[in-house]
């Protein structure tokens, strides 16, 4: 494997307070791997033998319900740690990490987690901040699924993806990674038929544009109103 450059980590929150020699130490202990779209980096319940940093691409975090249904509870963007089971004092992964697009990730043996949190300034505080934010996002998603009407849930899910990864195009703001109607169904606890009906209706109203794996929001304000129950 070619030697990884320190610039890969410079400025990323967990490593932002470190000097280049410290970043060099961290990179020298890392493994790098490229994953095709739709690949499981790790699966829920498997031994948490490594923790990861996403360099490029996007991940879907998937939880299995007691009934056996799979729910996409959040997405992870480049520059973020994931698979940090040691931070939860777990020895198995609490969810499955599936690539939403071709991705590149660094990883380290789980036994190094305690060394990193003890030795590198800012690593622990930023890691636990990220963990807290994610737990909040998961709780919000599960609360929406339990309490909100389907139309609001789907609108909120689209807005979250746009806010996280949206890029401007000639027609609106496109979600940066491939997303299907089935993915949205898995994010919102509703049926594929219902998602298709809603998106078709919103396309006719000029709120979204969608193809097989791409979705762009053409009227974000209207989508916000729908997510708030005012659409």
* Structural domains for the chain: 6-138 (2.60.120.10), 148-227 (1.10.10.10)
**What pLDDT is recorded for position 199?**
96
pLDDT digits (tens, 9 = 90+) for 44-64: 999 999 999 999 999 999 998
CA gap 212, 2 in Å, rounded:
37
pLDDT digits (tens, 9 = 90+) for 123-156: 999 899 988 988 888 888 888 878 889 999 999 9
CA gap 121, 133 in Å, rounded:
20
Count of H-run helices and E-run strands, the chain:
7, 12
**What pLDDT is recorded for position 1?**
53
63 beta partners: 71
Phi and psi angles of residue 132, each rounded to the nearest 5 degrees, phi first: -65, -40
Q: Is 52 helix (H, G, I), strand (E, B) or coil?
A: strand
**What pLDDT is recorded for position 145?**
79
Contacts 24+ apart (CB under 8 A), 56-59: 56/102, 56/103, 56/104, 57/99, 57/100, 57/101, 57/102, 57/103, 57/104, 57/105, 57/177, 58/99, 58/100, 58/101, 58/103, 58/165, 58/176, 58/177, 59/97, 59/98, 59/99, 59/100, 59/103
**What pLDDT is recorded for position 69?**
84
The segments of the chain whose pLDDT lies below 50 read none
* DSSP calls for 146-171: HHS-HHHHHHHHHHHHHHHH-EE-SS
CA gap 188, 156 in Å, rounded:
9
**What pLDDT is recorded for position 77?**
93
Nearest to 202 by CA among 156, 141, 148, 151: 151
**Do the Cβ atoms of 75 and 129 come closer than 8 Å?**
no
């Amino acid at each position: 494997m070619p030697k990884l450059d320190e610039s890969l980590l410079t400025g990323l929150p967990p490593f932002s307070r470190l000097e280049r020699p410290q970043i060099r130490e961290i990179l020298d202990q890392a493994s790098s791997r490229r994953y095709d779209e739709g690949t499981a980096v790790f699966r829920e319940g498997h031994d948490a033998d490594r923790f990861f940093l996403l360099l490029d691409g996007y991940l879907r975090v998937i939880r299995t319900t007691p009934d056996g249904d799979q729910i996409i509870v959040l997405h992870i963007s480049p520059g973020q740690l994931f698979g940090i089971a040691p931070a939860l004092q777990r020895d198995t992964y609490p969810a499955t990490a599936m690539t939403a697009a071709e991705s590149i990730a660094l990883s380290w043996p789980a036994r190094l987690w305690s060394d990193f949190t003890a030795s590198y300034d800012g690593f622990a505080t930023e890691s636990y901040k990220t963990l807290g934010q994610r737990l909040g996002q998961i709780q919000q998603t599960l609360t929406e699924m339990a309490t909100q009407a389907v139309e609001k849930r789907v609108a909120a899910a689209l807005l979250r993806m746009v806010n996280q990864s949206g890029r401007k195009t000639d027609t609106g703001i496109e979600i940066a990674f491939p997303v299907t109607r089935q993915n949205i169904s898995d994010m919102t606890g509703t049926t594929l038929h219902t998602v298709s009906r809603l998106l078709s209706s919103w396309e006719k109203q000029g709120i979204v544009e969608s193809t097989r794996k791409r979705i762009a929001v053409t009227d974000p304000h209207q989508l916000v109103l729908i997510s708030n129950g005012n659409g």
